[in-house]
Structure 1
């Protein structure tokens, strides 16, 4: 049975000395608080702090299974040395192993994603067996990245956790990777048309969606160009943005029929990367299938 743990319910933070004061307070207050380490220096500062505290620390070891951004390679002695040092501290519990498959975002189709997932499973199981050989039996071992978790492989059943993030609302990036259909994207930016500009060579709509509402990610990623997909208007694209405003033009350069887009009306945009876009907003309005607002979500902030 796979135990799903959502990334916003359980806090993971790579250990840095400057963070540990805040982490110590959170560890005392929260029922579940987990730290992630991948270097011996992390272990040293954590062990030093843990001996001064009454409550145990829950620690994950980050394993590098091909992404090469962070994590310790599972076949290196450094992982074993880190585990021994953590295990020897009475106030530390090695909760498990985790790997992030960020390279799945650069995969060339589903078969490539499957290969990334299966390799990660094999590497994690190798790391798990190596730790068992020195008496460290991790309770959990899992992987993350939405492309992998949206297209799971049979081998992933051998893990105890999956850590998808963006899959909750999806975005254009996940659609382009084959993980979801367009109508399965729940993240939408609503923007209002605030001006018509009809001069020759510069015919466009002005909207109140700049890069502080959408981010600059996505340019050049779509056949039509632009920074997102304007829903139900395939002939339009968001061509450029400044901080607070955006220019919407026709995809093929033809003149716009401004009567179809009156000032004050709205357009809806699917973002390329929902994580980055959502971080720009302090409130998320939750709508049902009839576009009635049925709730408001307020995200947690801070690093």
Structure 2
């Protein structure tokens, strides 16, 4: 049988370019190595054991996840060092204990003294030993305690002294680095992220409590931090794939984007100079992260099926549940894009785009024309 290509698979489908993925992974690995920190890949976007194996190659062996479903999935595939990077809820602890029974060390994070106390008590009831990290707020304002707070020391003390818990360190995430518009701005945020985590760890140690792990996150800061002195690990995630937003904040280039959606023209609306594709909000997401950027691509950059830019820039300007609206631009005619024409869309926010798909169609742009589907890689979804 002839090989399957991107012209044979159903649309919309999620495409992953292995060649670009490998290069992106290597770039981050080199950045972490140059700063003498461990790399803990955050798999909240990839959600795939096949991607995880590539990202973990040559690394310390730990990963971060954003759902317990991901933790269960990766533990079932033999990954035993997992950080659940969302504040844990007490009613999730029985499920955590079950994952640990598979042999996994599942590190929990919290910014709550009350939850830390519940972790310690529930660990004793379940006969489980829970690893606890304190989450810090380094400026994003989403979650976390401040490094100079009394709550930080109390969280560390409770977990350290408990019979069925262990204090495992501190972590923070500079998600507000996404608001930066230059490398210089990212460097400043990265230094605040670093100093916040290091200062918190030093305070904890000054109270006689070990603080082995000093963990920070964010693809922009992991790549562009001038120094990570005092940090033990970084936890970036979107670096593996990249997206149009990351390309505009200097985390990657458009040519580095490893994930796209293959779609087809399904309708023409000649009176309004628009066409429709069969990839809408569910296939692309409704994220408009490039809206205020110099290169606004609407809900995604439109290219030809091979991923090559069209002769004039086109974008998905509006999404409905199952449709995307693409305005025609001057110099492009309907005759050039008849119904059934296959196109690719490079997303604004790849984490959201990938979330609706159960697998990747793997291609390799370093081999042939990059259109042959060389494998199908499953991904896990849900919570």
Q: TM-score when scaled to structure 1?
A: 0.92
Contact preservation (8 Å) 2:111, 2:134: yes
Residues 257-282 of structure 1 deviation map (CA, whole Å, 9 limit, x = unaligned)? 12211222211111000111111211
Does 2:210 correspond to 1:137? yes
Classify the secondary structure of the residue corresponding to 2:37: coil
Residues 62-73 of structure 1 correspond to what in structure 2 (within 5 A)? 62-73=135-146
1:3 aligns with 2:41: no
1:150 shift after superposition: 2.6
Q: Is the 8 A contact 1:238 1:248 kept in 2?
A: yes
**Partner residue in 2 for 1:38:** 111
What is the aligned partner in structure 1 of residue 319 from structure 2? 241
Contact conserved, 1:2 with 1:162, CA < 8 A, in 2?
yes
Among candidates 277, 281, 285, match of residue 357 of structure 2:
281
Does residue 300 of structure 1 match 2:380?
yes
Where does residue 208 of structure 1 map in the other structure?
278
Shift of 1:139: 1.7
Which SS does the other structure have where 1:135 is aligned?
A: coil
2:170 to 97, 106, 124: 97
Q: CA deviation at 1:85?
A: 1.0
Seen in structure 2, the aligned counterparts of structure 1 residues 187 and 126 have a Cα distance that, compared at 3 Å, is same
Equivalent pair of 1:193/1:264 in contact (CA under 8 Å): yes
Counterpart selection for 1:192 from 264, 280, 284: 264
Q: How many Å separate the matches in 2 of 1:61 and 1:76?
A: 12
Q: Is 2:301 the partner of 1:229?
A: yes
Which one scores higher on RCO, CA 8 angstroms, separation ≥ 6? 2
State the distance in 2 between where 1:241 and 1:77 align. 47
Which of 130, 134, 142 in structure 2 is aligned with 1:61? 134
Q: Partners of 1:268 and 1:204 in 2: how far apart?
A: 17
Q: Distance in 2 between matches of 1:14 and 1:84?
A: 18
- 2-structure distance, mates of 1:114, 1:255: 41
SS of the residue aligned with 1:52? helix
> What are the Cα deviations for residues 185-243 of structure 1, in whole angstroms up to 9, with x where unaligned?
111111111122323xx122221011000011126345455211112123322121110
Residue 113 of structure 1 and its aligned partner are, at CA, apart by: 0.8
Aligned to 2:230: 158
CA distance in 2, matches of 1:61, 1:182: 36
2:251 to 170, 175, 179: 179
* Alpha-carbon distance in structure 2 between the residues aligned to 1:29 and 1:71: 29
Q: C-alpha deviations, 1:9-63, integer Å up to 9, x for none?
A: 3241412123223222222224221110111111121111011233421111101
In the alignment of these two chains, the number of paired residues is 298
Report deviation, 1:255.
7.3
SS in 2 for 1:293: coil
